[in-house]
Amino acid sequence: MAAKDRSAVRYSPSPPAWLSLLGTLIVGAYLTASMIISGQLGLPLDDSWIHQTLSRNLAQTGSLWINPGETTSATTSFLWTLVLAFGYKLGLEHLPWAYTTGLISYVISAWLIRRVSLVIIPEAKGIALLAAVLLLLDWHLAWAAVSGMETMLFTMVSVLLVYLTVRKDEPSPLVLGLAGSVAMLARPEGGALFALSLVFLWFRRVLDASGQKCDFSLSIQRETRRFLAFLLPASVVFLLLSLPYWAINYWNSGSPIPSTFQAKNAYYGQGFSSVDGLFRYLANATVTLFVGPLLLVLPGVMYMVAVSVRRLLRGATVQQRHSSLSILLLVVWVGLLWLMYFAWLPVPHLHHGRYLMPSIPFLLLLGLAGSAELLRQARIETWLPRLRLVLLAFSIMWLVVGAEIYACNVKFIQDNQVAAALWVRDNISLGGEVAAHDIGAMGYFSGRKILDTVGLITPELNYRPGNEAAVVSLMRQCGVDTMALFPSWHPWVLENKDFTEIARMGGRCLFSENSEEMIVMHVIAK
């Protein structure tokens, strides 16, 4: 009888197991699409090749550089550079290692957002599972997983930090400080999330001590004194692990801020200081990120914010207040992330919104919870299964489109930046130098010294449109007679009689953000 009972038991895979399977299938589909459309595997951004160049050189020589002998702080994600360098140190192939680490971050992010949902909304287990699945089905994050960039690593670490913060059991200050420093090393804005987590934990203590009527008069002062015992060790751990990164940046570029921050802000961060610019930015960011399942749950996001504020102010049960405060943490973090990039890099559509992609898991969770609440309030909760089916169908449709977008991005980079770098390698003398605004593939494949026309590794050229004379002057001063570029980046080159086209790369793709062809110009010496 016992044997019969055992044979009747069916194996039911745990959520982490089948989330891993689903994530692996999606990543495999995206790489297959790349092979079909571009004929080879690759990376969809030139920035991905910057990470590869720095990581390879770090593993081989122990220092960060693109030009030999010139150390640089041109990595905004020191942690991602270390992860990739570890693969080089082990002798692993660079592309499979980048895809694998992206896949691991992708799957763990899905598992963690499920855990966050179970903590914040424990009664809605279906929402937790759906949030994890929709995270994997979101084409932006699938693209990010195989982009060779730090996007999914930072997404994973930020969701982990939020999970540690919102749990009922407060994390130890050492654990929170460690998680905060890891988040900051994954992306500098991770430091802001760490600070926000500290504020959340302090306010939750104050809220608990204030009682049902939310009397803050005594609780703020008392709990603030107590919280210092948590704040100090957490901050010390954070600073001890973060200071070496800041010191390396300062040593290499004279600033604790990575040179990529400064260079991209100099090029893109212009003309968006007005209120009108803020509204345009928010509209563009919404259009960019909400192309996918988020579009269907946008009303739920807004509704959930309103409900949480109301419950928090009206002194609901302890569980409801904790839940509402946790939801507001997600809202504030998403808003803060968006506003930081408005101040620094106000081009939300750049690279399909990759700088804002880490907010997608939280927006999905807010939207799903809000939509379910809306349906219950309208007494049409029977529509919830239909909404789930529509969300899944809509996500799968965009996932397919995203695979073609990814493949086209890879093809574009291979046919232009990589092709130009290989042309320079084969046609420019070994001791020669080339000017370029895209330095990733050029640094990885060409084996030639690079004069960076937008200042990532050439700080004296923090290029702004209209400052062409400085570019030409430095090129002549350094004896650089070759330049690889997209005409839209430096249109003045086409009008300058001292520049002559000597090579043109091929390759355009429907979904590429740039439809140009990269050209190589010869500069007449004077």
What pLDDT was estimated at residue 296?
85
Average of pLDDT values for 95-116? 97
Backbone φ, ψ for residue 486 (5° rounding):
-95, 130
Tens of pLDDT, residue by residue over 495-525, are 888 899 999 997 666 555 567 899 999 988 7
Lowest mean pLDDT among 274-278, 316-320, 394-398: 316-320
User: Which residues have C-beta within 8 Å of that of residue 321, sequence separation ≥ 6?
Assistant: 207, 311, 312, 315
Q: Is 243's pLDDT higher than 50?
A: yes
Maximum mean pLDDT: which of 22-31, 72-81, 205-214: 22-31
Q: Of the candidates 305, 310, 354, which has an alpha carbon nearest to the alpha carbon of residue 332?
A: 305
Contact 83, 156 (CB under 8 A): no
Tens of pLDDT, residue by residue over 72-85, are 888 899 999 999 99
**Quick one: pLDDT band at residue 310, thresholds 50, 70, 90?**
confident
What pLDDT was estimated at residue 465?
58
C-alpha distances in angstroms, 49 versus 44, 268, 416, 419, 474?
9, 21, 13, 13, 25
SS3 label, residue 150: coil
SS3 label, residue 496: coil
Q: Of the candidates 160, 168, 164, 178, which has an alpha carbon nearest to the alpha carbon of residue 205?
A: 168
**Quick one: pLDDT band at residue 269, thresholds 50, 70, 90?**
low
Q: Is 59's pLDDT higher than 80?
A: yes
Residue 165 exposure: Cα atoms within 13 Å on the Cβ side: 32
Average of pLDDT values for 120-149? 93
Average of pLDDT values for 33-49? 93
User: Which residues have C-beta within 8 Å of that of residue 51, sequence separation ≥ 6?
Assistant: 75, 77, 80, 81, 84, 148, 149, 150, 440
Contact 494, 460 (CB under 8 A): no
What pLDDT was estimated at residue 290?
87
Maximum mean pLDDT: which of 193-202, 387-396, 508-517: 193-202
C-alpha distances in angstroms, 487 versus 261, 437, 490, 496?
24, 11, 5, 12
What pLDDT was estimated at residue 4?
45
Q: How far apart are CA 121 and CA 373, in angstroms?
A: 11
Contact 410, 31 (CB under 8 A): no
Q: How far apart are CA 180 and CA 297, in angstroms?
A: 30
Contact 33, 87 (CB under 8 A): no
SS3 label, residue 504: strand
Q: Is 145's pLDDT higher than 90?
A: yes
Bridge partners for 485 per DSSP: 519
Bridge partners for 65 per DSSP: 71
Q: Of the candidates 518, 83, 392, which has an alpha carbon nearest to the alpha carbon of residue 384?
A: 392
Q: Of the candidates 515, 505, 484, 487, which has an alpha carbon nearest to the alpha carbon of residue 408?
A: 515
What pLDDT was estimated at residue 349?
84
Lowest mean pLDDT among 46-60, 266-280, 329-343, 479-493: 266-280
Tell me what the pLDDT averaged over the chain comes to: 88
Q: Is 272's pLDDT higher than 70?
A: no
DSSP line for 201-270 = HHHHHHHHHHTTTT-HHHHHHHHHHHHHHHHHHHHHHHHHHHHHHHHHHHHHHSSSS-HHHHHHHHHH--
Q: Which H, E and C letters describe 104-140, residue by residue?
A: HHHHHHHHHHHHHHHHHCCCCHHHHHHHHHHHHHCHH
Dihedral over Cα of 500, 506, 509, 512: its sign: negative
What pLDDT was estimated at residue 222?
81
As given in the structure block, the two tokens for residue 181 are: 């420093």
CB neighbours (10 Å) of residue 291?
A: 17
More confident residue, 424 or 511: 424
Tens of pLDDT, residue by residue over 446-461, are 999 999 988 888 877 7
Q: Of the candidates 177, 236, 217, 181, which has an alpha carbon nearest to the alpha carbon of residue 201?
A: 177
Q: Is 5's pLDDT higher than 50?
A: no
Residue 6 exposure: Cα atoms within 13 Å on the Cβ side: 3
pTM above 0.85, yes or no: yes
As given in the structure block, the two tokens for residue 418 are: 């990589």
**Quick one: pLDDT band at residue 7, thresholds 50, 70, 90?**
very low
Q: How far apart are CA 18 and CA 171, in angstroms?
A: 28
What pLDDT was estimated at residue 6?
46
As given in the structure block, the two tokens for residue 519 are: 């050209």
Tens of pLDDT, residue by residue over 167-180, are 989 999 999 999 99
**Quick one: pLDDT band at residue 223, thresholds 50, 70, 90?**
confident
Question: Regarding beta strands 519-523 and 499-504, do their DSSP bridges make them parallel or antiparallel, or are they unpaired?
Answer: antiparallel
What pLDDT was estimated at residue 315?
58
Average of pLDDT values for 364-373? 92
Q: Of the candidates 157, 151, 155, 121, which has an alpha carbon nearest to the alpha carbon of residue 300?
A: 121
Average of pLDDT values for 452-475? 77
Q: Of the candidates 415, 416, 441, 433, which has an alpha carbon nearest to the alpha carbon of residue 523?
A: 433
Q: How far apart are CA 449 and CA 69, in angstroms?
A: 10
What pLDDT was estimated at residue 84?
98
| Phi-psi domain of 57 (left: phi exceeds 0; alpha: psi -120 through 50; beta: other) | alpha
CB neighbours (10 Å) of residue 218?
A: 11
C-alpha distances in angstroms, 500 versus 8, 450, 483, 488?
77, 19, 10, 16
Residue 103 exposure: Cα atoms within 13 Å on the Cβ side: 19
Average of pLDDT values for 375-403? 89
Residues in the chain: 526
